[in-house]
Structure 1
Amino acid sequence: MPNQELRVLSPTAILGYGFPEESFKRALDRKPHVIAVDAGSSDPGPYYLGSGKAFTNRAFVKRDLRYMLTAGRKLNIPVIVGTAGGSGAEPHLQWCYDIIMEIAREEGLSFKMAVIPSDVSKEVVRKAIRAGTIESLSFVPPLIEEALDATTHLVAQLGPEPLVEALRQGADVVLAGRCYDPANFAALPLLLGYDEGLAIHMGKILECGAIAASPGSGADCAFATLTDHSFILEAPNPKRQFTIASAAAHTLYEKSNPYELPGPGGILDLRHCSFTDIGNGRVEVQGSRHIRTEPYKVKLEGARPVGYRSISIAGVRDPIMIASIDQILEQVSAQVRSMGSENRGQVFFHVYGRDGVMGSGEIRLKTQWQSQKPYELGIVIESVAPTQEEADTLTSVTRSTLLHYGYEGRISTAGNLAFPFSPSDISMGTVYEFSVYHLMPIEDPVQFPGSEGRKMLTVDKGRIL
């Protein structure tokens, strides 16, 4: 059991979100043993995985990485980046790799870098489908081969094991594809023999940076000190502090079960976990346990194209129209369908100011709606069709029909909608949906399917030796 403390710096919630320079410098004064960052998420939806594009800005990703890499080399500590490029597939990994190499050339940095892809072969997954070993997550339909075939990018959410092995082999910089969020932060502690439960729980909180502090921010640093029996959370920025409530709340963040948090190869058991305020904006966490499960399972993520999208944004301020908005939208939809039966697309209305966020899932009693009518509504007209031209046409016709629709009681005939932008219609391009969101057992979490592309590179001022 380690008898020394291990200090871990998380600069920001997601690489490219940024952080105050002063916060980062204060954290460096604490002499961290590792700088780790989560570079992505599935939260922004399937488009970024399916298209192979990053959802973060390249200039700010480079800005964050420059601080991290130069500090890592100066302190001679590892820098770990997981879920590279936002979604962690091959094009995202390459995108982030290119940025790192640019910085190495510009800053004259030399280091040993491990590049760990997380892409999984469709044939590997196809065999698992046929063997009946693919498991659907809650509310996810069974995985079928047609969905797999249409998937553009397919990744596995890696556990910490491949990252631990890269550090074991002497990597100064670890660049990984899609990872279990805590893996980046738990890798060095696990290599050094720290408790699995504490290391993974610490990573669960650090992965979102200062969002877990109070007041929270996704664009600021968080810092943790790990010992053999606990970890202590603190915020380098004196404007923020960790509290029992903020640390405990983030532990439950995005989790349906408050006691068991599943991940690759195991479950984080928090039944005996405790949070203690130890003063000066610091919280000590104890009692976290990690229970390994067999077989070792990883979550697969894949996305496929399903059509093209076009939108138009408009506002409504007529109280007569607002009072009958449901019937009006239904009538407009019917009229548009009657004018273009050959159109293969679908129209959706998102009504902001009422249920634009939750849609049909919004709990809204009719009596509440009658007594609390807003004075204005925002409407997003969304069309999805097999081609961009069809989607654009459907949006255009729907927008013009709604603009001049003669609903009962209308007084003004000049137009029903206010458009904040000209042009009013926007072609959004390809629409993707998650086609794979399932669990798959693997035999070896280090030599996982797709690990064939793993590299250990020696970088000398931006050149590969």
Structure 2
Amino acid sequence: MTSTPATAVRVLAPTGMLGAGFPPATVDRGLELGADVIAVDGGSTDSGPYYLGSGTAKTTAAAVAGDLRILLRAASTAGIPLIIGSCGTSGTDSGVDWVAGIAARILDEERLSLTVARVYSEQTAAALKERLNEGRVHPLPPMGDLDASTLDECTRIVGMMGHEPIADALAAGAQVVLAGRATDTAVAAAVPLTRGMPAGPTWHASKIVECGGQCTTDPRAGGVLATIDRDGFTIEPLDPSNACTPASVAAHMLYETVDPFRMREPAGTLVVGDATYTALDDRRVRVEGSRFEPAGQHTIKLEGARVTGYETMSFTAIRDPHILARIEEWVALLHEILTGRVRQTLGLDPSGYAVDIRPYGYNAVLGSIDPADGPPREVGVMLLVSAPDQATATAIAKIANPLMLHLPTRDMDHLPSLAFATSPAETERGPAYEFALNHVVDVDEPSGMFRIEITEGASRD
């Protein structure tokens, strides 16, 4: 017996990231509206390479558990899949296992029987070297060709999956899919695509809902529901008092994209240049005209992080108007004297370490292009030292300590008193990481670089 093809698929996106929180009532509202799947992102690279390099999450276990408990209950009650991508912030294997462990405890406490799939995305340097030797690894701008040694330097490497491994897990019977690194859109696109919805509207809707309520006029009010059909999609907030407008929906194509009209996925490119955004009423928007161009070659993007050194940070505050009127001279003087004292005390030249001095309140964010006119009222000076080992980084920061407390400008005839923010003044930050990979791998099988493990739901009395 064949099933009737779906005429529409409804995707409930409760929040932009698991652990960020959302009003529980909005999920109930989504179920009332007939949601077919709950999809939520578990992380991203937004917060830098540390989380990938160290394999740790930026969210707390308590926050993830709070959101997950609501979503697991909802998925069980409605009998619909729950899909979470980029588990543990960066989608490492440890991140997937971390979220899976939290989920297992909740399922046991709530006496819920749901089959859970773990989709792993970590890659080994050895396997990637084979693909590199086969000519299957290519750089993305501005990177150059990949050197095999870079793979060995990375503490962790993940491949960014499209919807296919998630769809495979669902086809294998999973009711909850906990995926490693995935495109933000893949978690929302998997069910609509497997149920026959066209790729253009599906990928466009998935892009719009990736951050939950960010496409609404009040992002704090909770997530959204996207209804995808064969001609387009309709999007509405889960909070009845919230609203989507054509501008708020269309604007999300500007978010984290190089080109607001084209967005590459592993399988091809979403094109929205001809899309139309129409207000159906004062809170719902209809989008039509999106299309998807399949790629000639399916690619998997690689993300990898490596240790660049060890950091120690110190922070002092300046209120002295004489120094503030000459803040650039003071920063340059601090750097000059510190360099000399480090050479004298530790025998180190600047090539053996790095010092970053950032005057917050002056130009720490924009640097020389800061438009501020006139001296600032107060400045917080952050000193960030990076060295090959923690002890050296801390030693340099300690040498800077008296300078950051009492350094006068060259024309002052007395020692000023500045204010450290903490005691002790030096904070050891541990290893620092940088992203080392911005490359793609040509693959013949979209799911071939990923591994799926399924845990059957336990029967409950």
TM bucket (normalised to shorter chain) is over 0.9
Would the aligned equivalents of 1:345 and 1:394 in 2 still touch at CA under 8 Å? no
Q: Is the partner of 1:454 in helix, strand or coil?
A: strand
Name 1:349's counterpart in structure 2.
357
Q: How does 1:247-262 map to 2 (within 5 A)?
A: 247-262=249-264
- Provide, for residues 357-390 of structure 1, a one-character-per-residue CA deviation record: whole Å limited to 9, x for no partner: 234xx523xxx55x33321112111011111111
- Partner residue of 2:332 out of 330, 333, 346: 330
1:210 aligns with 2:213: yes
Would the aligned equivalents of 1:305 and 1:432 in 2 still touch at CA under 8 Å? yes
TM-score scaled to structure 2, two decimals? Answer: 0.94
Q: How does 1:308-323 map to 2 (within 5 A)?
A: 308-323=310-325
Name 1:280's counterpart in structure 2.
282
What's the offset of the Cα at 1:306?
Answer: 1.2
Of residues 133-142 and 326-335 in structure 1, the stretch that sits farther from structure 2 once superposed is: 133-142
Name 2:420's counterpart in structure 1.
419
Name 1:6's counterpart in structure 2.
9
Q: Is the partner of 1:374 in helix, strand or coil?
A: coil
Would the aligned equivalents of 1:50 and 1:302 in 2 still touch at CA under 8 Å? yes
1:405 aligns with 2:407: yes
Structure 2 CA distance for aligned equivalents of residues 461 and 280 of structure 1 = 46
Would the aligned equivalents of 2:360 and 2:381 in 1 still touch at CA under 8 Å? yes
Would the aligned equivalents of 2:360 and 2:380 in 1 still touch at CA under 8 Å? yes
Would the aligned equivalents of 1:224 and 1:234 in 2 still touch at CA under 8 Å? yes
Structure 2 CA distance for aligned equivalents of residues 136 and 83 of structure 1 = 22
1:296 aligns with 2:302: no
Q: Is the partner of 2:303 in helix, strand or coil?
A: strand
Cα 1:410–1:238 shift into 2, 3 Å: farther
Structure 2 CA distance for aligned equivalents of residues 287 and 128 of structure 1 = 38
Structure 2 CA distance for aligned equivalents of residues 91 and 33 of structure 1 = 29
Structure 2 CA distance for aligned equivalents of residues 412 and 334 of structure 1 = 19
Name 1:455's counterpart in structure 2.
453
Q: Is the partner of 1:241 in helix, strand or coil?
A: coil
Count of matched residue positions in the alignment of Structure 1 and Structure 2: 451
Q: Is the partner of 1:299 in helix, strand or coil?
A: strand
RMSD (CA atoms)? 1.8
AA of the residue aligned to 2:296: E
Name 1:224's counterpart in structure 2.
226
Of residues 319-328 and 61-70 in structure 1, the stretch that sits farther from structure 2 once superposed is: 319-328
What's the offset of the Cα at 1:105?
Answer: 0.9
1:172 aligns with 2:180: no
Would the aligned equivalents of 1:320 and 1:409 in 2 still touch at CA under 8 Å? no
Structure 2 CA distance for aligned equivalents of residues 411 and 27 of structure 1 = 69
Where in structure 1 are there 5+ consecutive unaligned residues?
none
Name 1:110's counterpart in structure 2.
113
Structure 2 CA distance for aligned equivalents of residues 412 and 110 of structure 1 = 73
Would the aligned equivalents of 1:107 and 1:461 in 2 still touch at CA under 8 Å? no
Name 2:129's counterpart in structure 1.
126
What's the offset of the Cα at 1:392?
Answer: 1.1
Name 1:143's counterpart in structure 2.
146
Of residues 97-106 and 27-36 in structure 1, the stretch that sits farther from structure 2 once superposed is: 27-36
Q: Is the partner of 2:158 in helix, strand or coil?
A: strand
1:384 aligns with 2:386: yes
- Provide, for residues 172-202 of structure 1, a one-character-per-residue CA deviation record: whole Å limited to 9, x for no partner: 1111100011101010001100011111111
Would the aligned equivalents of 2:6 and 2:195 in 1 still touch at CA under 8 Å? no
Cα 1:413–1:116 shift into 2, 3 Å: same
Cα 1:153–1:374 shift into 2, 3 Å: same
AA of the residue aligned to 2:389: T
Structure 2 CA distance for aligned equivalents of residues 290 and 89 of structure 1 = 29
What's the offset of the Cα at 1:2?
Answer: 4.8
Structure 2 CA distance for aligned equivalents of residues 347 and 142 of structure 1 = 30
Structure 1 CA distance for aligned equivalents of residues 93 and 329 of structure 2 = 47
- Write out the 4+ residue segments of structure 1 that deviate beyond 4 Å after TM superposition: none
Structure 2 CA distance for aligned equivalents of residues 128 and 330 of structure 1 = 48
Structure 2 CA distance for aligned equivalents of residues 82 and 214 of structure 1 = 25
- Provide, for residues 253-302 of structure 1, a one-character-per-residue CA deviation record: whole Å limited to 9, x for no partner: 11121221111121001121111111131111111111111211111001
Cα 1:220–1:141 shift into 2, 3 Å: farther
AA of the residue aligned to 1:181: D
Structure 2 CA distance for aligned equivalents of residues 231 and 324 of structure 1 = 57
- Partner residue of 1:373 out of 372, 375, 381: 375
- Partner residue of 1:363 out of 363, 369, 381: 369
Structure 2 CA distance for aligned equivalents of residues 412 and 438 of structure 1 = 55
Name 1:80's counterpart in structure 2.
83
Percent same amino acid among aligned pairs? 34
Name 1:18's counterpart in structure 2.
21
- Partner residue of 2:93 out of 73, 90, 97: 90
Where in structure 2 are there 5+ consecutive unaligned residues?
none
Q: Is the partner of 2:436 in helix, strand or coil?
A: strand
Cα 1:461–1:144 shift into 2, 3 Å: farther
Cα 1:374–1:240 shift into 2, 3 Å: farther
Would the aligned equivalents of 2:16 and 2:213 in 1 still touch at CA under 8 Å? yes
Structure 2 CA distance for aligned equivalents of residues 43 and 103 of structure 1 = 28
TM-score scaled to structure 1, two decimals? Answer: 0.93
Would the aligned equivalents of 2:408 and 2:414 in 1 still touch at CA under 8 Å? no
- Partner residue of 1:42 out of 42, 45, 49: 45
Structure 1 CA distance for aligned equivalents of residues 414 and 230 of structure 2 = 73
Structure 1 CA distance for aligned equivalents of residues 130 and 258 of structure 2 = 31
